[in-house]
């Protein structure tokens, strides 16, 4: 087992590194990575991002958003959370998750905390979840990763994962709320996250052979950063790769009531209907069709509304009022 | 393990049925069994072209996310949109639940696939 040393807290880089380890690193070795993100929401591969996040809260608190390769629901990371990743060969079956969660449970036992697998994906302490796990398979390679809440800001987690957007419907994977706990709540004597990392690493390597550590080379970093810049940090991947969805937004303004319904596919507006009791000097159908093909992205829609001369259709509103209605 | 005689198979557990220039692709009984409950399918776009073994879709089960690789090169003619609403059909009837129909780009691709007998032996080997 090769431990890849990764001290980056950049979520886009860290997710790119995982993909690189699965797809590019030699499959003659198995890999283990411990890593942490600055405050970030990580959504599952097939989730609709805007359905999972509180856009206003994450903007105000500078919380990043990133999409991972594996499935499941949205999770919150900060520097109180520790992530672990295994990349192994697996050409028979999907391995039992317990093979990968066992070292985590043993690490907790070593510091005097009883923990148990709960369902397939979770590890819990007294029934409360502190670790969520997911897998991604690429040809004969299997990636297993999981989160470990050590001393995360749970209040930020609750707020950031509480979407304000109303009435979105999609076929994407929905997140399931769990009762969560930090490991730190259960400690009998003080322990830093760095000390816990050391204990966990020992438990992982204890079960393995031919152990070594690996520092990413300049060549590795070049490819990972390329993937970071061209995939993981892009709007197209974070938002655009969401499953198709419908959104319905209603607003009551002094100039009238408005009801906007959009169909979004690949991040682009596929169809648009606008209803309401407002006064419009021009046929609103022109505005509706003019929005088709625009990225469902605040700045893009604002720009498109200006180009389409929004005020010809809705004289008493402005671009900001409409994008506020749509995005917050 | 159900392995119909009239299909061709890949070592990634996809099947293809061929009718003239058209192939229909799906995942095998072995694949659905090992994936567990399938909860999401991302389909390719009609008109997209792919080389043999390109990833054309994504399947998410309760266990893992995997890619779907096309057994043969070609252009997507049709996709089974029913799977967007009912991904569990891939578990319930993997050989009736085709995922995409493809206009075959090169019929020689089919020579590189396994017949039912070879695929059965391949699966047996994995289980041993």
Q: In chain A, which residue's Cα lies nearest the Cα of B124? A: A92
Q: Mean pLDDT across the stretch A301-328?
A: 93
Read off the pLDDT of residues A2-21 as tens digits, 9 standing for 90 and up.
999 999 999 999 999 999 99
**Burial of A145 by CB count in 10 Å (0-12 exposed, 13-18 middle, 19+ buried)?**
buried
Contact list, A71 vs chain B (CB under 8 Å): 39-40, 60-61, 64-65
Could you tell me where in chain A the CATH 3.30.930.10 domains are found?
2-238
Query: Under an 8 A CB cutoff, do B39 and A94 touch?
Result: no
CA distance A41 to A78: 9
Could you tell me where in chain A the CATH 3.30.390.50 domains are found?
245-327
Contact B24, B101 (CB under 8 A): yes
Query: Under an 8 A CB cutoff, do B65 and A120 touch?
Result: no
Q: Which CATH architecture has domain A245-327?
A: 2-Layer Sandwich (3.30)
CA A291 vs. chain centroid, Å, equals: 28
Residue in B34, B58, B127 nearest the CB of A45: B58
The pLDDT assigned to A207 comes to 86
Q: Mean pLDDT across the stretch A224-251?
A: 96
CATH label, B8-121, candidates 1.10.1270.20, 3.20.20.210, 1.20.140.10, 2.40.50.100 = 2.40.50.100
Read off the pLDDT of residues B3-43 as tens digits, 9 standing for 90 and up.
999 999 999 999 999 999 999 999 999 999 999 999 999 99
pLDDT of A92 higher than 70: no
Which tokens in the block code for residue A180?
A: 């969560």
pLDDT of A223 higher than 90: yes
The domain spans of chain B are 8-121
State the fold for domain A2-238: BirA Bifunctional Protein; domain 2 (3.30.930)
Residue in A69, A93, A134 nearest the CB of B34: A93
Which tokens in the block code for residue A35?
A: 């890593």
Contact list, A120 vs chain B (CB under 8 Å): 62-63
Report ipTM for this prediction.
0.88
- Identify the residue among A46, A51, A86, A100 best suited for mutation to test binding to B, counting B beta carbons within 10 A and taking the highest: A46
The pLDDT assigned to B86 comes to 97
CA terminus-to-terminus distance, chain A: 46
pLDDT of B113 higher than 70: yes
The pLDDT assigned to B120 comes to 97
pLDDT of B84 higher than 90: yes
Q: What 3-state DSSP class applies to B2?
A: coil
């Amino acid at each position: 087992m090769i431990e890849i040393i990764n001290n980056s807290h950049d979520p886009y880089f860290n997710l790119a590194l995982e993909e690189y380890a699965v797809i590019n690193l030699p499959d003659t070795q198995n890999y283990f990575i411990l890593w942490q993100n600055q405050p970030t929401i990580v959504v599952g591969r097939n989730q609709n991002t805007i359905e999972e996040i509180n856009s206003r809260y994450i903007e105000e608190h500078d919380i990043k958003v990133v999409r991972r390769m594996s499935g499941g629901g949205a999770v919150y990371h900060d520097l109180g959370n520790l992530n672990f990743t295994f990349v192994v060969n697996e050409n028979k079956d999907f391995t039992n998750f317990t093979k990968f969660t066992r070292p985590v449970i043993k690490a907790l036992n070593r510091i005097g905390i009883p923990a148990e697998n709960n369902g397939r994906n979770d590890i819990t302490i007294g029934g409360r979840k502190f670790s969520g796990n997911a897998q991604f398979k690429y040809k004969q390679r299997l990636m297993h990763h999981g989160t470990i809440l050590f001393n995360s800001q749970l209040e930020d987690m609750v707020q950031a994962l509480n979407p304000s957007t109303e009435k979105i419907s999609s076929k994407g994977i929905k997140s399931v709320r769990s009762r969560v706990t930090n490991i730190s709540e259960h400690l009998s004597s003080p322990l830093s996250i760095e000390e816990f990392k050391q204990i966990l690493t020992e438990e992982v390597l204890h079960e393995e052979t031919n152990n070594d550590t690996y520092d990413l080379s300049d060549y590795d970093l070049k490819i990972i950063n390329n993937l970071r810049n061209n995939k993981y940090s892009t709007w197209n991947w974070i938002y655009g790769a969401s499953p198709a969805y419908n959104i319905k937004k209603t607003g009551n303004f002094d100039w009238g009531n408005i009801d906007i319904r959009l169909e979004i596919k690949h991040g682009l507006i596929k169809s648009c209907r606008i209803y309401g009791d407002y006064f419009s000097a021009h046929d609103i159908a022109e505005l509706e069709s003019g929005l088709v093909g625009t990225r469902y992205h605040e700045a893009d829609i604002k720009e498109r509304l200006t180009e389409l001369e929004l005020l010809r259709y809705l004289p008493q509103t402005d671009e900001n009022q409409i994008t506020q209605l749509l995005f917050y | 393990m159900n392995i119909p005689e009239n299909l061709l198979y890949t070592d990634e557990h996809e099947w293809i049925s061929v009718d003239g220039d058209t192939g229909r692709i799906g995942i095998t009984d072995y694949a659905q069994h090992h994936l567990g409950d399938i909860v999401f399918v991302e389909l390719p776009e009609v008109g997209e072209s792919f080389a043999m073994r390109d990833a054309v879709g994504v399947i998410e089960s309760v266990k893992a996310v995997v890619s779907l690789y096309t057994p043969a090169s070609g252009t997507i003619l049709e996709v089974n949109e029913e799977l967007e609403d009912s991904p569990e059909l891939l578990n319930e009837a993997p050989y009736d639940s085709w995922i995409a129909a493809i206009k075959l780009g090169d019929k020689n691709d089919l020579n590189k696939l396994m017949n039912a007998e070879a695929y059965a032996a391949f699966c047996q080997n994995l289980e041993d």
